[in-house]
Amino acid sequence: MKILENYIPIISFFIIYNTHGIIAATLVSVAVSIIQIIYSYLFNKVENIQLVNFGFIFIFGSLTLILRDPFFIKLKISLVSWTFAGVLLINYLMGKKLILQRIVGDKITFPNHIWKNLTLAWGVFYLTQGFLNLFIMKYMSTQAWVNFKFFGIVLMTLAFIVCQSLLLSKYITKK
């Protein structure tokens, strides 16, 4: 259920974009994100990743709304992706206990070299996703960018998770 909650702003953005345009979609997406953060604060725990996403959508969504320029909301995906990539890649290079291991290490166990490889793979994935978003926002239509945001990123992420799962399945030992 928590994963589905993360997609509510994206789903609302897609629906509103296709009926009212990108400025209205940005407004709804920012509003939904504010409601989500308040709800999580009151009834659940606000996760760090939720705060990062909220910060980016609030800042770049607000810039889009104030300046009436969709460049900022389009850029948000690259900046969020590069932030995740930076954190993971720096952690890969300098960390003793890797972030991914801290997040899911209580549920599954891998040898240390697998955690390192997984961290590197996700770092490169997010780095690539950020550059792909930049390419699409610069050289394709806004409709193509919205479709990439809604379908492309979700499908890329799911495909990457499936590939990772298949590659890692021989190492998985449940705790």
Boundaries of every domain in the chain: 1-69, 74-175
First to last CA, the chain: 22
Task: Calculate mean pLDDT across residues 85-100.
Answer: 90
Q: What is the number of other CB atoms lying within 10 angstroms of the CB of residue 174?
A: 6
**pLDDT tens, residue by residue, 93-139:** 997 788 888 887 777 888 888 889 999 999 999 999 999 999 999 99
Q: Give the model's pLDDT for residue 84.
A: 94
pLDDT (0 to 100) of residue 57: 94
Each residue's pLDDT tens digit, 41-54: 888 888 888 898 89
Contact yes or no for 142/120 (Cβ under 8 A):
no
Looking at every residue in the chain, the average pLDDT score rounds to 90
Q: Provide the b/e sequence for 47-59 (b: ≥16 CB within 10 Å).
A: eeebeebbebbbe
pLDDT-derived band at 170 (thresholds 50, 70, 90) equals confident
pLDDT value of position 174? 59
